[in-house]
Amino acid sequence: MVMDHQNVVLQANLMLDRPVPEFVARSTMGPLSSEDYRGKWLIMFSHPADFTPVCTSEFIGLQRSINEFNRRDCKLLGLSVDSIYSHVAWVTNIKEKFGVEITFPIIEDISMTIATAYGMLDASSTSTSTVRAVFFIDPQGLLRAKIHYPMQVGRSVAEILRTLTALQIADEQQMAAPEGWQPGEKMVPIAPTTIDEANRVKSRPENIEWYYTDRKTLN
């Protein structure tokens, strides 16, 4: 069942590899719902408030990398508890003042139902502002990764793209991205779950131990 602003089921503790809460909402590009994004990757992210320095830098950074997201068949969707009128005024002002047109939609969530359902609000805070949350949702509507930043720290667009790319390639190759992995580099085998698998991994010349593969030695 599709949930609207008035009856979103609260699921603040979202689990990885589980379906995300459904929603319908007004946005800067008209009405939309979670179903509109099925079949594509979606990065849904919240920001504390319109017309603020860090949020503006993030939106400009994301827009300047929009072609990279499109190349990965991934859509962007912003959200805050500000009104649709504030969103429209803000993106209009960004275009007028900085020459950057924000081409992805921003959800209005005045009632905070979507933000609450996705765990975008800090329960210990006296503010209704959303934290800087990022949700990586796959084409089946499953949550694959989530990152939370405090209000004082802006997100890295490069890291969002790196995580998205890692998820996509790991799925395609049935491999895993080790520490510091960057797009274009080799991935490592997923962790073995049987002794036979561990022995096969250990027999590879690049392996020092069955539980560690130095990606620099991969061909």
Per residue in 123-144, pLDDT tens? 555 554 667 899 999 999 999 9
| Cβ-Cβ contacts under 8 Å for 139 (sequence gap 6 or more) | 38, 39, 40, 41
Which range (48-52, 143-147, 198-202) has the least confidence?
A: 198-202
Q: Which domains does the chain have, with CATH numbers?
A: 24-154 (3.40.30.10), 174-217 (no CATH)
Per residue in 6-19, pLDDT tens? 333 334 568 999 99
Residue type for 195, please? I
207, two tokens: 């392996």
Active site residues: 55
Whole-number Å distance between alpha carbons of 212 and 58: 36
Per residue in 75-106, pLDDT tens? 999 998 899 999 999 999 999 999 999 999 99
pTM score of the predicted model: 0.87
Query: What pLDDT score was predicted for residue 151?
Result: 83
How far is residue 115 from each of residues 81, 133, 201, measured CA to CA in Å?
8, 10, 44
Whole-number Å distance between alpha carbons of 58 and 132: 10
b vs e for 108-133, b when ≥16 Cβ sit within 10 Å of the residue's Cβ?
bbeebbbbbbbbbbbeeeeeebbbbb
